[in-house]
Amino acid sequence: MNYHWDFSPVFANAALLAAGLGNTLKVTGIALVCGLALGLLLALLRLSRHRWASWPAGFVIEVFRTTPPLVQLFWFFFALPLIVGIEMTPFLAACVTFSIQSSAFFAEVFRAGIVSIERGQWDAARAIGMNHAQALRRIVLPQAVKRMIPAFMERVIELMKTTTLVATISYADLLFEANELSQKTFRPLETYTVVALIYFFVIFVASLLARRLELRLARSGESTVG
Amino acid sequence: MSLLRVRGLAKRFGANQVLRGIDLDVEAGERIAILGASGSGKSTLLRCLNFMEMPDQGTVTLDGKAIGRNGKYRDGELIAVRQRVGMVFQQFNLFPHMTAIGNVMEGLRTVKRLPRQAAHARAEKELARVGLADKADTYPAHLSGGQKQRVAIARALAMDPELLLFDEPTSALDPELVGEVLTVIRALAEEGRTMLLVTHELGFAYHVATRVIFLADGAIHEQGTPDEVLKHPTKERTRAFIARHKEFSL
Amino acid sequence: MKWDFASVFANWDALLAGAAGTLRIFAICLVLGLSLGLVVGLGRYARHSWAYWPATSFVEFFRNTPVLVQILWFYFALPILAPFEISPLAAAALGISLNSAAFSAEIYRGGIQSIEPGQWDGARALGMSWAQAMRRIILPQALKRMTPALTNRAIEIFKMSTLASAVAYVELLQQGKLIASINYNPIEAYTAVAVIFFVFLWPLVQFTYLLERRLRRDE
């Protein structure tokens, strides 16, 4: 191979890449927190006996699980501002899109976890006089959450990968910086290779931690769902 | 010359020495019942004979030809052995995605490479022999335990084995289904087939076996004719074992 | 606010071209991803063979890197090393296929491992080789169990086809972008694209639920 590899321009701009990585993690973090909260809400609505709650929730979940995330991102960035009349920055569009998108998947994990708790637990809770909300909060949810952690970790890893889509709407995440850098330095091979390795490293470590957590849970005798 | 000759067979699983130096000669036409408490190594012994488990030490000689060389076994050789030695499992291990006749044909088609017609005809005969000709196109899920085991026997017979190994063939069956399987095995015995039978059915062993071996702690503790071992055992452990199986009475 | 879908429908031929492009890349990546995945999955299953470590490295790398990064690498970086042209289709198909292969490899491995050892016993006792046992006894049973997970993978691949728009491959989203920029109607354009995807995938998703329920019932 007579190509002369030169990584120096990439390393010279390490600060830029670090900032990009920081932005990636920022969007991921916000989407994660909002997604979890919204996901729980959607799950509870979906499980409700009242049609006016479960149908809209079901609709939102289905729509956001069945349409491609990139289409959702474009819709929230280009279409929504015109409908609602607000300013939409790439950052805001990214946060909104991925919060809702991840919430749809989290909702399914929550729902599966809650449903997996056997009837006997509900019966016992109600037998001592708890209402539905109390049974859920004190008895069912705490047990369900433990079981759902592997499935959650899987979705978190997915989220870390999905947020790279923000580069397409010019948000300055790691991938966007990679694009800029490769055009500036004319070294796409080195730039993209380094960035791919950075992504791999971060996400791989995250998935190893997730697996360690799963093993610890399995050893403590908890069955898992997902 | 013995059909099967075993010398110094030893096998351990982790820290557990399951078989300690087994010596065994099996002549053609012999029916040997192998008895013992759980953990005595009965299943492991059987599984070593068709190399479903690999012995750590010892030699197995089939029809005068030693299998393996200095503890090294070639895949092709083992496959050839398994075509000559049939095995029937406690859990039947029928293939659920094939019908009864499909199961019986499978070895003939895939291993012996018989054409479909010939394999089908042969399979029909074997199923008829075990009394299940009418269940040929039934899937295992719709068969009773006794029927499943009979199909498994037919599957093994279709390969024309020189030696049949039965690994507790009735232990997983409901009591009322045990009889139909024992009937089939008895018929095979009367044909003069060579077989090794690990079983807890002491009464059956008494009537069908030509020799009884009692295993304890991975070694042959006592062996002899059914009369000798089952009616007049000389060793204490053998006596204790038989006494525990109180349903055995003549 | 006035919604104007007429301009979208006026460009139905562009959307049709987009749909054709989406289906083409979907078909390519489905076939490549699921078949390469089987090979890698077998490597992952055979824990003591030479194939285990290469297969594991492959799976770890392509599951833990974002597909978009891979697509861009194939489109911008690979041509520098390789002597031939990499088209947008090739770059996107490579990225999506390799990612799908990594995910489906784990599905295959899990499916094969879920078949009880007794089936291996039954097959080997008849004198079958490893390959014969795998082909005649293990895989047919495993594939039945893996169908819901593999169908899910197919749905994911279909959604990932939109990533090809990042390298300007003509698929549905790319056409949506085109229509939006020509007619200044991003709302209608992107809504239309979203609806098309939904209409296409929703029956498939429901089918997967059905498969999962039927499988749980049979087990």
* Class of residue B237 by CB neighbours under 10 A (exposed 0-12, middle 13-18, buried 19+): middle
Percentage, residues of chain C above pLDDT 70:
98
* Class of residue C76 by CB neighbours under 10 A (exposed 0-12, middle 13-18, buried 19+): buried
- Alpha-carbon radius of gyration of chain B: 18
Set of chain C residues whose Cβ sits within 8 Å of the Cβ of A68: 159-162, 173, 197
* Domain spans, chain A: 8-219
User: What's the domain range around C140?
Assistant: 6-218
Taking 60 as the threshold, does the pLDDT of residue A222 lie above it?
A: no
Q: Any idea what the Cα angle at residue A95 is, between residues A90 and A97, rounded to 5°?
A: 90
pLDDT in tens, A156-194: 899 999 999 999 998 999 999 999 998 888 888 889 999
* DSSP string of chain A, one letter each residue: -------HHHHHTHHHHHHHHHHHHHHHHHHHHHHHHHHHHHHHHHH-S-HHHHHHHHHHHHHHHHS-HHHHHHIIIIIHHHHH-----HHHHHHHHHHHHHHHHHHHHHHHHHHHS-HHHHHHHHHTT--HHHIIIIIIHHHHHHHHHHHHHHHHHHHHHHGGGGGGGT--SHHHHHHHHHHHHS-HHHHHHHHHHHHHHHHHHHHHHHHHHHHHHHHTT-----
In a domain, C1, yes or no: no
The percent of chain B in helix, strand and coil, each rounded to the nearest 5, is: 40, 25, 35
For domain A8-219, the CATH superfamily is: MetI-like (1.10.3720.10)
- Contact predicate B163/B196, CB 8 Å: yes
Set of chain C residues whose Cβ sits within 8 Å of the Cβ of B89: 118, 121-122, 125
Q: pLDDT band for position C41 (50/70/90)?
A: very high
Set of chain C residues whose Cβ sits within 8 Å of the Cβ of A204: 60, 64
Q: pLDDT band for position B178 (50/70/90)?
A: very high
- Contact predicate B211/B228, CB 8 Å: no
Q: Rounded CA gap, A172 and A190, in Å? A: 19
Using the 8-state DSSP alphabet, how is residue B68 labeled?
A: S
pLDDT in tens, C1-22: 566 777 777 888 888 999 999 9
Taking 80 as the threshold, does the pLDDT of residue C53 lie above it?
A: yes
CB atoms within 10 A of CB B47: 20
Question: Under 8 Å CB-to-CB from A108, ≥6 apart: which residues?
Answer: A43, A61, A65
Note whether A84 contacts C: Cβ–Cβ < 8 A: no
Taking 90 as the threshold, does the pLDDT of residue C215 lie above it?
A: no
Taking 70 as the threshold, does the pLDDT of residue C93 lie above it?
A: yes
Taking 60 as the threshold, does the pLDDT of residue B249 lie above it?
A: no
A110-136 average pLDDT score: 83
The whole-number pLDDT of residue B250 equals 47
pLDDT in tens, B97-114: 899 999 999 999 989 999
Note whether A209 contacts C: Cβ–Cβ < 8 A: no
| Nearest chain C Cα distance for residue B205, angstroms | 24
Which residue in A has a C-alpha nearest to residue C70's C-alpha? A196
Q: Rounded CA gap, C21 and A20, in Å? A: 32
Which residue in C has a C-alpha nearest to residue A73's C-alpha? C190
Q: Which chains have 3+ CB pairs within 8 A of A? A: C
Average model confidence (pLDDT) for chain B?
92
* Token reading at B189: 């015995």
CB atoms within 10 A of CB C130: 14
How many residues does this entry show for chain C?
A: 219
- Contact predicate A81/A87, CB 8 Å: yes
The whole-number pLDDT of residue A2 equals 62
User: Residue B212: what are its φ and ψ, rounded to 5°?
Assistant: -120, 135
Q: Rounded CA gap, B3 and B17, in Å? A: 27
Q: Rounded CA gap, C97 and C78, in Å? A: 16
- Contact predicate B52/B130, CB 8 Å: no
Average model confidence (pLDDT) for chain C?
91
Do the Cβ atoms of B95 and C119 come within 8 Å?
yes
| Nearest chain C Cα distance for residue B97, angstroms | 7
pLDDT in tens, A61-95: 999 999 999 999 999 999 898 888 888 899 999 99
Q: Which of B2, C60, B146, B65 is nearest to A200 (CA)?
A: C60
Q: Residue C122: give its domain's CATH number.
A: 1.10.3720.10
Note whether A198 contacts C: Cβ–Cβ < 8 A: no
Do the Cβ atoms of C197 and A204 come within 8 Å?
no
Set of chain C residues whose Cβ sits within 8 Å of the Cβ of B111: 126-128, 132
The whole-number pLDDT of residue A226 equals 39
**Residues of C engaging B, defined by a Cβ cutoff of 8 Å:** 118-119, 121-129, 132, 136-137, 140-141, 144
Note whether C201 contacts A: Cβ–Cβ < 8 A: yes
Mutation target to probe the C interface, by most C beta carbons within 10 A, among B104, B106, B109 is B106
Q: Rounded CA gap, B65 and B248, in Å? A: 39
B144-155 average pLDDT score: 96
Name all domains of chain B by residue range, CATH numbers in brackets: 4-15+27-94+162-244 (3.40.50.300)
Do the Cβ atoms of C121 and B89 come within 8 Å?
yes
In a domain, C189, yes or no: yes
Mutation target to probe the A interface, by most A beta carbons within 10 A, among C61, C78, C190 is C190
Which of B82, B86, B96 lies at the smallest CB-CB distance from C124? B82
Average model confidence (pLDDT) for chain A?
88
C95-105 average pLDDT score: 96
Q: Rounded CA gap, C212 and C216, in Å? A: 6
Q: Any idea what the Cα angle at residue B57 is, between residues B48 and B13, rounded to 5°?
A: 65
Q: Rounded CA gap, C171 and C165, in Å? A: 7
Which residue in A has a C-alpha nearest to residue C59's C-alpha? A204
How many residues does this entry show for chain B?
A: 250
Q: Rounded CA gap, C203 and C182, in Å? A: 32
Taking 90 as the threshold, does the pLDDT of residue C62 lie above it?
A: yes
Q: Do chains A and B touch (3 or more CB pairs under 8 A)?
A: no
Q: pLDDT band for position A225 (50/70/90)?
A: very low
CB atoms within 10 A of CB A52: 9
SS3 B22: strand
Note whether C214 contacts A: Cβ–Cβ < 8 A: no
pLDDT in tens, C105-161: 999 999 999 999 999 999 999 999 999 999 999 999 999 889 889 999 999 999 999
The whole-number pLDDT of residue A159 equals 93
Q: How many domains does chain C have?
A: 1
Do the Cβ atoms of C127 and B89 come within 8 Å?
no
Set of chain C residues whose Cβ sits within 8 Å of the Cβ of B155: 126
The whole-number pLDDT of residue A1 equals 52
Q: pLDDT band for position A224 (50/70/90)?
A: very low
